[in-house]
Amino acid sequence: MKVIPTTLALLVFVFMTMSSVTAGGMESITLDIEGMTCRICARAVKKALSNVEGVKEVEVSFKEKEAHVEYEGGKGRVEEMIKAVEKVGFKAKESKED
């Protein structure tokens, strides 16, 4: 009979974990990046964005000159992302298409 309480506890834990992620408000943004000319540039931008607190996933395309970022919502996150990109030598701004 210990299986049922253990299973129930596990289900409650999973539900609470999922709820906290949803409650945290995941958001996404596309940033236009100026100055990228190759895959190494894209890697530098991806690394910089990945190191910003709250960022969960980053996809960067040097061909499209943009970065798509999924992050935990919150004020100041976008400004932090732009500053991180600028620190590695590129210009970034929020895409008008997003």
Contact criterion met (CB below 8 Å) for 68 and 59 = yes
What is the structure's pLDDT at 76? 80
Instruction: Give the total residue count for the chain.
Output: 98
Residue 3 in domain: no
Residue 78 tokens read as: 């976008």
Domain interval for residue 85: 25-94
Distance CA 40, CA 69 (A): 18
Amino acid in the structure at residue 54: G
Assess if residue 16 is contained within a domain: no
**What is the structure's pLDDT at 3?**
47
| Number of helical H runs and strand E runs in the chain | 3, 4
Q: What is the CATH number of the domain that holds 88?
A: 3.30.70.100
Q: What is the pTM of this model?
A: 0.73
User: What is the per-residue pLDDT for 14?
Assistant: 38
Per-residue pLDDT in tens (0 to 9) along the chain, 98 residues: 454 554 444 443 434 433 334 446 899 999 999 999 999 999 999 999 999 999 999 999 999 999 999 999 886 899 999 999 999 999 999 998 75
Q: Are 66 and 30 in contact (CB under 8 A)?
A: yes
